[in-house]
Amino acid sequence: MDKLKGANKLGLYVVSGFILFLLGNRVDELRVYQGASIAVFVVAISSIILLTGYSGQVSLGHGALMAIGAYSAVISRNSFHTPVILTFVIAVLIAAIGGALLGAAAARLSGPYLAGTTLALAIGLPSLANQFSILGGEQGIFFDVGFPPPSLGEGFTQYKWFFWIAALAALISMWLVANILRSRFGRNWRAGRSNETAAALSGINVSRSKILAFTISAGVAGLAGALLSMTIGIVSPSAFPLTLSFSLLTGAVLSGVSTLSGVMIGAVTLVAIPEIADAVATRIGVSERLTTNLPGLMVSTLLILTVLFVPNGPVEQHRTRQARKAAREKH
Amino acid sequence: MFQLLNTILIGITAGAIYSLMATAIVLVWRSTRVINFAQAGMALLSTYFGYEAMVHFNSFWIALPVAMVGGAAVAALIELVFMRLLVKRSSTGPIAAVAPIIATLGLLGLIKGLISTFWGGADVRLVGPVTNIGYSIGDKTLAFSPLKLLTLCTVVVLMLLLTVLFQKSNIGLSLRASAYSPEIARLSGVKVDFVRTLGWSLAGASGAVAGMFQTVNGNGAFSPESIEFSLLLISGFIAAIIGGLESLIGAVIGGLVLGLVVSFVLMYISSSLFFIAPFLILLIILFIRPQGIIGVKAARRG
Amino acid sequence: MTLTVNELTIHHGAICAISDVSFTVPKGQLTAVIGANGAGKTTLLRTLSGLNKSTHGTATWNEHNLLHSKPETIVRHGVSHVSEGKAVIPELSVVENLELGAIWRKNKKEAAESKAAVTDIFPRLGERLNQRADTLSGGERQMLAIGRALMSKPELLLLDEPSLGLAPLVVEQIFQTIRDLTTTMGLTVVLVEQNAMGALKIADQGIVLNLGKVAVTGTAQSLIADPQVRAAYLGY
Amino acid sequence: MKAMNRRKLFTVCATIAVASLAVTAIPAQAAEVGVSSSEIKLGMTLPMTGTASPGYNKIPGAVKAYFDYVNANGGINGRKLTLVVKDDQYVPTLAVAKTNELILKDKVMALLAPLGTANNKAVASVVNPGARGIPTLFVNTGFSGFADKKKYPTTFSLLPSYIMEAKIMAEYIKDNFAGKKLGLLYQDDDFGDDALAGFKQAGLNFDVKVAYASGSQGDKVSPAQWVTKLQAGGAEVVILFGVSSATAAALGTASVMKFAPQWILGSVGGDATTIKASGVPAGVLYNAVGASFAPATTDTADEYVKLFQEIYLKANPTETFDNNVMVGMNTAFLTAQALKAAGTNPTRKSLIAAIEKSGKNFASAALVPLNYSTTSHVGYNGYWFGKYSPTGDLKPAGGVYTVYTTDSGNGAVVKSTYKRPAMPAKGLPN
C-alpha cells in the first residue's frame, strides 16, 4: 500500500480530470468561472507549499513571480502569436529564470531579510509595468487565448474554455510537483529544512538545493500568473497587488504548508469566502459597514486561528491524529 | 537650488517618520524576534484613538499622548494574548519560519477590518498643532513648514529619549539583555516576559507617533485604506531592514536613506517610480551588505 | 540552609534525562557533580535554576521550592546559575553585564558594594569595565560570567562547566577562585564539571552521575581514592 | 496507510470542490435577462472604497433616489427599477471581476454608468458586453474611444469626451490667459493621453508638464514634488487634468507652499465634495476655473436642480446635494426614459434601438445637447466655464452660462445656441 507508484497516481489525476470535466458541463457559468479561479489558486498555492513547506524558505513576493509569468505569456502571445500551450510553457520558463535569480539572492539572506526583499519585490516589480510602454502601464495589456474551438459546440462558453485550460494545467502541474517532491530533490529540501548543517554533512549542496526550490516554485507561480491573467483577460500591475502575495500565503497556511494534498482546501476557501461572507451578511442582516468588511475579517480570523490552533494545516493535523490513534491501538 | 532644497527637505521629513516606524519594527524584532507586519495597522488604530481624542478635546497635544498610550496598550494586549500563544504553538515544524509573518499579516487584516467596521471607510481628519504653511525664502515658499519642523523635533526628541532609556536605565538594560540573550537575562532576574510586553508597548507608542505625524503632514485626512498607512507599512519595514534590524541608530539611518533617495528619484527621475524606488534601494543595499547597514553578521537565534 | 533534591526525575520529550536523583548539599560546601557526556549534569543544573521543567520529585533551597518556579524568581531566592559556555552577553559592555546581575536588587547601594567586591575578586574585569564583552579573552569571559552571578548576591551558586575550552593555567586560576568563594565568602556551590579531577580536588563532596542516575556519592577525597571512579572518570 | 489517507483526502477535496460548484441550480429563462414582470435590474461598478471613492460613492445613492421616485410613481410600465452596485476600488481587474459578477450572478439587464476610463476599457475588452449584446449605458468617462460604435456596439457615452474638453479648454485659455506661462498636471493613462491629444490638436503648448501615476494610490503620493516642479518651471496658469483626489492633494499642498497660479480644473477633478472629503478646505478652490455641462447645483431657480435636490434630500436627508449627485440623477433620469422608450416588454436589443432612435430627444438637465443617433453614440458635446466660490461651488461667470461645443475630431469649437427644452411633468419619463 505504501508503494502506490507514479502510474497509479497518474490514474487518480486522470479520474479527477474526468470528474471536473463532467462538472464543468453541469453547473452554471458563474460556478465555472469560480472553478477556473480555484484551479489558478491550486497552482499558485502549490508553488508556495513547495517553497515554504518543503524547502523552508519564505516568500512574500510570489505575486511578483506570477506577474512575470503573466507578462511573459501575454507578450509572447501578442507579439509572436505563440500557440496557447507554448504561451504557458514560456511563462513557466521565464518565471523560473526570475526565480533562480531571486533564489540566488535568497541563499545569501536570512529570514527577515529574505522576507523584506521578497516583499519589496511584490510591491516594486508589478509597478515596473508603468515604466515600459510594451508592458502597457497601469491599464495593462489584454490577454486573449482565443475562442474555444468550434468543434466543442455552440453552447461552449468562453469561461468553460478557461476552466478547461486552467483545470488541465492545474492537474498536470500538481502531478509534476507531487513527483518532484517525492524525488531526490524533495528529500534534499526536507533534509535542508530541518537541519542545514546535517544536510550539508551528508553531501547535499544546501544552497544549490535551495536555489533549485526557488526556481521550480517560481516556474509554477509563473504558470499560475499566466492562468490568472487568462481568466481575467488582462495583465496589469493591479492584477498582482501585495494582497495577492498575502492571499497565497493565507491559502498555503489554510492548506497546511507542509502537505501538498491539502492544497484544494486553501484554494476553495479563498474563492468561497467572499460568497460565504455575502450569504452570512444577507442571512443575518448586518450593517452595511460590516457587510463590506466581513470577507476580510473572516479571512484574517481564519488565518489567525489556523496559525494558532492548526499550525501545520488540517491535513497534517488529521494525519498526526491518525498516527496517534494507530499507535494507541498498537499498545 | 529651490528644487534641490525642497527635495532634501521633503526627503528628510518623510525619512524621519519612516525612522520612527522602523524603530517600532526594530523594537518588536529585538524583543520577540518577530517582524510585525501589523505595526502599520496598530499605528492606524492608534491614530484613530488620537482622532477620537481630537474630537473630544480639540487639541493635538492631548490627542498625541492618547494615541501613544492607546498604541502601547493595544501592542501590549497583542503580545500578551496573541504572541505568547503563537510562540508556544507554532515554534516547531515547517510552519515556524512563516508562522509569525502569517500571524501578523492576519492581525493586520483583522485590525484594518475592525477599524473599517467601527469607524467606516470614509476619511476623518486630524489637525496639526502648528501651521503647515511653508517658510519663505525670498519670493519662494519651501515645502518645509513649522509643522514639518515640529515633526523633525519630535522624532529627534523621541529617539534621544529612547536612546537614553536603552543605554542609561535598568529598563533599557533589561530590554537589551532580553533581546540578546533571554536565558542569561532570565538567570539574572529579568522578568523577560514582562520585558517583551514592554518592548511591544514602546513599539506601539512609537508607531502611534509615526501615524499621527504621517497624517498631519499629509493633508490631515486618513482612512483605513489611506495611502499614508500603506506607505508606513512598506517604508517602515524597508527602512528597518536597510538599517539592519538590530539597532535604533540603524532604524534612523535606514529611514533617512530611504526618505532622501525616494525624494530624489521622484523629483528628478519620475513620479511614477514611487513603488519601485524603495525596492531598488533595498536590493542594492542588501546586495552590498546582506545584513543591512548596521546589522549583525550572523542572525542570532532565540 | 541546604539544597535538598529528592527523587528528581526529568524528561526531555520521551527521553528520561534524570531519573530518581536524590542528594543534599550542605551550606558552605562545594559539591562537584561529575560524569560522562550526556549523564544529565547540565539538565540537573538547568532544572534547579528553573530553566527546565521536571517530571517528578522535589528540590528545595532554604525552604523555597526550586521546581515549578521561574528562573527570575529563583534568582531572587539567592540561587545564581552560571550556564554553560561563558555565559555573558557579548553585545553588552563588561560593566553592563555585571549590572545585569544586580538588576533585580532594590538596594542600589548594596549593588554598588557587590560591584566593588566582584572587581576586587577579578581585578582584570575592573580594568576592562567599559569594553564590550566580546573583546574579552575566554578566561576573562568566564570570570565575567561568574562575576555577573555574584552580583545577584547569591547564597547558592550553580556553575556549569566553567573550565570548558580554557587553557590549563586559566582553569587552575578559575578553580582557585571558586574554592575561595566557598571558603572566604561562605557560598554554597554546585560545580558541574567534565574536568572531574580538577573539580574533585577543590570540592568538599562529589556526586557521580551516570545515565541520569546517581552512581556514587561521597566526600571528594573518598571519590578520588575510589578505584572505580578513578578508572571511569579520572582516567588513571 | 499513508497513501490510503492521501487518497481519502483527495476524495474529500474533490467532494468539497463538487459541492462548492454545484450549489446553484440553473434558473428558468425569463423573456430577457434582468427583466421580470415586476422588475428591471441594472448593475453599476464604481469605486465605493479606496482613495478614488470620495464623491463618486454618492452616485449610487443619487441613482437609487431617482429610481425610487420613479418606482413610487408606478415604475416603468409597472416594473420597478433596481440597481445592483459593486465596488471596484477604481482597479481595472476588480472592475472586470465585478462586472462578471453583475452579469453572471446578479443577471442584470444592462450595465449603468460604470466609472473610469481604464476600467471601462478593461471591461469592454475582457467581459466584452458588446459581443454579448449587453447594453452599457452612459459610461461615466470622457474617453473619446467609447463613442466608436463599431468597436463598442452596445456602449453609450454620456460625458463630453476629454478631447472635446481639452479643445474647449484650450479655446478658453487663448481667450482669457494669452501669453501666460502654462503648466499641466495630468494623470498618466488613457484619460490623460486623451487630454494631451486634445490640447495638441488645439495647438496649445505647455511650459511645464507633470504626470502622476494613475491607479488606486498614485494620485496622492508625491504632491510636494508636483508642486515644486510646477513652481520651478514658473507656471502661471496650471491646468489640472486628473481625478478630484489628485486635485485635493495638489491644491492642498500648493496652498501650504504658497504657490498660487490660476488653476483650471478639468470636469473630472473639480468636485468640491471630494476635495473637502480629502481633508482639504473648499477654500483652496476659490477663484479656480472649472467646467461643467450640468447647471450649477446652487442654481435652485433651475427646475431640474430644484426637483432633483428635493428628491435626493428626501431620500438622503443627511447628505449634501452636489454635482456628483446632480449628474447621477440626470443619468438615472435618462435611463428611465430609455427603458420607457424600449417598449412594454423591453429587451436588450430594444433598449439599444430606443436610445439610437429617440435618445437625441430625451429630456435632460444638461445645458448641452445629446447627440445619439443610429450612427453615433456620442452623448453631450460641450461645456460651460465658471469660477469656484469661496465655498467651493462652481458658478458661471457673470451668472450667464456660456456653452461651447465641439467634437472629438477636427471640428471647431463653437459657442452653442442650444436651448434646453422644458422638463416633463413631475420629472418623470413621458
Could you tell me the maximum CA-CA distance found in chain D, to the nearest angstrom?
Answer: 88
**How distant, in Å, are the alpha carbons of A82, B60, B285, D50 from that of B52?**
58, 11, 40, 22
Measured between alpha carbons, how far apart are the two ends of chain B, in Å? 50
Ordered strands of the D155-157 beta sheet: D80-87, D39-46, D110-112, D136-139, D155-157
Query: Taking CB atoms and an 8 Å cut-off, how many pairs form between chains A and B?
Result: 157
Distance from CA of C231 to the nearest CA of B (A): 36
D420, pLDDT greater than 60: yes
| pLDDT tens sequence across A186-198 | 888 877 777 777 7
With bands split at pLDDT 50, 70 and 90, how would you rate the model's confidence at D15? low
Q: Hey, are the CB atoms on B188 and C83 less than 8 Å from each other?
A: no
Q: Tell me the residues of chain A between 244 and 303 that have a Cβ less than 8 Å away from chain D.
A: 261-265, 268, 271-272, 292
Q: Which of C47, C89, C114, C130 to substitute to test the interface with B, most B CBs within 10 Å?
A: C89
Identify which of C36, D280, A22, C102 has the alpha carbon closest to the alpha carbon of residue B220. Answer: D280
CA dihedral (D8, D11, D16, D21) in degrees, to 10, reads: 180
What residues are paired with D264 via a beta bridge? D239, D289
Determine, yes or no, domain membership for A275: no
Enumerate residues 6+ apart whose C-beta is below 8 A from A331. Answer: none
Q: CB contact, 8 Å: A27 with chain D?
A: yes
Q: Which of C75, C92, C101 sits opposite B176 (nearest CB)?
A: C92
Please report where in the chains the cell 483605513 appears, as a residue: B224
pLDDT bin (cut points 50, 70, 90) of residue D1 is very low
User: According to the per-residue pLDDT averaged within each range, which of B41-45, D267-271, D416-420 is highest?
Assistant: B41-45
Quick: pLDDT tens for D195-244: 898 899 888 889 988 888 765 555 556 788 889 889 888 899 999 998 88
Taking phi over 0 as left and psi of -120 to 50 as alpha, with beta for the rest, C177 belongs to alpha
Nearest to A4 among D3, D126, D216 (CB): D3
Is D320's Cβ below 8 Å from some Cβ in B?
no
If pLDDT is split at 50, 70 and 90, which confidence band does B75 have?
very high
Q: What are phi and psi of D135, to 5 degrees?
A: -65, 140
Distance CA C147, CA C117 (A): 9
Question: Does domain C3-234 correspond to CATH entry 1.10.760.10?
Answer: no
Cell of residue A92, nine digits: 513557466
The rounded distance, in Å, linking the Cα atoms of D309 and D321 is: 6
| One-letter amino acid of D122 | A
**Stretch (H or E) spanning B117:** helix B99-119
Cell 429563462 locates to D29
- Locate the chain D residue with the closest alpha carbon to B265: D225
Residue B299 pLDDT level (bands cut at 50, 70, 90): very low
Q: What are the grid coordinates assigned to B126, written together?
A: 486630524
C-alpha cell read off for B163: 536612546
Mean pLDDT, residues D294-301: 88
Q: Which pLDDT value is given to residue B52?
A: 95
Q: Could you report the predicted ipTM of this complex, rounded to two decimals? A: 0.79
C-alpha distances (whole Å) from C140 to each of B188, C133, D60 are: 19, 9, 76
Please state the φ and ψ torsions of residue D344, each to the nearest 5 degrees: -70, -30
Q: Could you state, in order of their start, the residue ranges of all structural domains in chain D?
A: 39-160+297-381, 162-292
- Tell me if residue B34 falls in helix, strand or coil: coil
Cβ of A19 within 8 Å of Cβ of D189? The answer is no
Does residue A127 surpass a pLDDT of 70? yes
Q: How far apart are CA D414 and CA A176, in angstroms?
A: 67
Contact between A128 and B280 under an 8 Å Cβ cutoff? The reply is no
B184 touches chain A (CB under 8 A): no
What does residue D129 show for φ and ψ, rounded to 5 degrees? Answer: -60, -25
Distance CA B190, CA C96 (A): 14
**Nearest CA among D285, D279, D276 for reference residue D251:** D285
Is residue A165 in some structural domain?
A: yes
d(CA B22, CA B39): 10
With contact defined as beta carbons under 8 Å apart, do C16 and C212 qualify?
A: yes
Neighbours of chain D (3+ CB pairs under 8 A): A, B
The domain D39-160+297-381 is placed in CATH, from the list 3.40.50.2300, 3.40.50.460, 3.30.379.10, 3.40.50.1820, at: 3.40.50.2300
Contact D219, D243 (CB under 8 A): yes
Domain assignment of residue A153, given as a range: 6-241
Backbone angles phi, psi at C190, to 5 degrees: -110, 120
Contact status, residue D140 vs residue D116, Cβ threshold 8 Å: yes
The topology (CATH level 3) of D162-292 is: Rossmann fold (3.40.50)
Q: Give the count of alpha carbons within 13 A of A200, CB side only.
A: 7
SS3 label, residue B29:
helix
User: Which carries the bigger pLDDT value, residue B210 or residue A286?
Assistant: B210
Q: Which residues pair with D45 in a beta bridge?
A: D86
The strand pairing partners of C59, in sequence order, are C5
Which of A256-265, B150-159, D73-82, D398-407 shows the lowest mean pLDDT across its residues? A256-265
Considering the domain boundaries, does residue A46 fall inside one?
Answer: yes
Q: Kindly indicate the confidence band of residue B302, based on its pLDDT and cuts at 50, 70 and 90.
A: very low
What does the pLDDT read at residue D220?
A: 58
- Contact between D370 and D418 (Cβ < 8 Å): no
Least Cα separation, residue B186 to chain C (angstroms)? 5
Whether A292 is covered by a domain: the verdict is no
Q: D403 - beta bridge partners?
A: D384
Whether pLDDT at D22 is above 50 = no
Alpha-carbon distance D365 to D427, whole Å?
Answer: 10
pLDDT of residue D85: 93
Residues of B with Cβ-Cβ distance to D211 under 8 angstroms: 270-272
Q: In terms of pLDDT, which residue wins out, B95 or D238?
A: D238
Give how far A297 is from chain B: nearest CA, Å.
5
- In the three-class reduction of DSSP (H, G, I as helix; E, B as strand; rest coil), residue D264 is classed as strand
What distance in Å separates the CA atoms of residue D270 and residue D383, rounded to the nearest whole number?
A: 13
Q: Is pLDDT of D287 > 80? A: yes
Buried-state track D44-58, b at ≥16 Cβ within 10 A, e below 16: bbbbbbbbbbbbbbb
- Does residue A219 lie in a domain region? yes
pLDDT digits (tens, 9 = 90+) for B126-136: 888 988 888 88
Chain-centroid distance of CA C219 in Å reads 18
pLDDT of residue D28: 40
- Please check the confidence at residue D263 and state whether its pLDDT lies above 90: yes
As a whole number, mean pLDDT of residues B97-111 equals: 86
Q: Pairing relation of β-strands C79-82 and D80-87?
A: unpaired
Question: Would the pLDDT of D30 be above 50?
Answer: no
Average pLDDT, chain A: 81
pTM recorded for the entire structure: 0.83
Q: What percent of chain D has pLDDT over 70?
A: 91
Q: Which of D377, D396, D375 is nearest to D385 (CA)?
A: D396
- Write out the DSSP string of D96-108: HHHHHHHHHTS--
pLDDT value for D3: 45
Query: Is the pLDDT confidence value at A1 over 50?
Result: no
Q: Which residues are registered as beta bridge partners of B124?
A: B222
The residue ranges of chain C whose pLDDT is under 70 are 235-236
Supply the mean pLDDT for chain B.
Answer: 87
- B86 at interface of A, judged by CB pairs closer than 8 A: yes
pLDDT of residue B2: 82
Question: Is residue A331 predicted with pLDDT exceeding 80?
Answer: no
Name the grid cell of D418: 442650444
By the 8 A CB rule, do D392 and D276 touch?
yes
Contact D224, D193 (CB under 8 A): no
Average predicted confidence (pLDDT) for chain C:
88
For chains B and C, CB pairs below 8 A equal 70
Residue type, B101: I
Q: Could you tell me which chain D residue has the CA closest to the CA of B121?
A: D49
Q: Is the pLDDT of residue D7 over 70?
A: no
Window 276-305 of A, Cβ < 8 Å to B: 289-290, 292-293, 296-297, 299-301, 303-304
With touching defined as 3+ CB pairs under 8 A, do chains B and D touch?
yes
Q: Is the Cβ–Cβ distance between B278 and B258 less than 8 Å? A: yes
d(CA D158, CA B107): 44
- pLDDT tens column, A149-202: 777 766 677 778 888 888 889 988 888 888 888 888 888 887 777 777 777 777
> Is B206 in contact with B27 (CB distance < 8 Å)?
yes
CB contact under 8 A, B190 and C51: no
Euclidean distance between CA atoms D378 and B288, whole angstroms: 58
- The pLDDT of residue D26: 38
**What integer pLDDT is reported at residue A111 of this predicted model?**
75
- Residue B203 identity (one-letter amino acid): A
Band of the pLDDT at D136, cuts 50, 70, 90? Answer: very high
Q: CA dist C170 to C87, C97, C143, C176, C177, Å?
A: 17, 21, 10, 10, 11
Q: In the predicted model, what is the mean pLDDT of residues A51-60? A: 84
Q: Let me know if residue A229 belongs to a domain.
A: yes
Counting residues of chain B whose pLDDT is more than 90, the rounded percentage is: 49
Number of domains in chain A: 1
Q: Are A213 and A57 in contact (CB under 8 A)?
A: yes
